[in-house]
Amino acid sequence: MKETIKGAVVGGIIGAAAALLLAPKSGRALRQDLMRKSEEMYDKTAEVTESVREKTAELARDIRDKTSELKSSVLDKAADLAREAGDTTREAAKKLNGKVEEASDKARDFVTAAANKSKEAADHAADEADKKPTH
């Protein structure tokens, strides 16, 4: 864009200078025309420069605003994902805890049943031993 503006300004200056120099005029009239045209080109260059400055500032504001919006959106999404990960982890921990408790209950029941059977077997063996006469 800078090159386009420079090209337009330089082209305008060259065109104006050529038109003034090729036109049949007296020295005084030619100098006045050159002075007037150079002032017009200066004013036009100042207008273009100001316009470019304003457009650049506007573009910079737009970029800053969009970047801020994007940053906010990314942070919100990251927070959502972190919450979801935390929820999933808590849910998995609850399920695992439930499975551990269930396995613990089954193991306790198994050990209790085995102990009861062992006691019954020992009692039965003791009863049988008592029933047998001793010689």
pTM of the complete model: 0.46
Model pLDDT for residues 88-98, shown as the tens digit of each residue:
999 999 999 99
Return the exposure string of 7-27: e unless at least 16 CB atoms fall within 10 Å of the residue's CB, then b: eeeeebeeebeeebeeeeeee
Model pLDDT for residues 13-35, shown as the tens digit of each residue:
777 666 666 666 676 776 787 78
pLDDT above 90 coverage of the chain, percent: 47
Whole-angstrom distance, CA of residue 114 vs CA of residue 125: 16
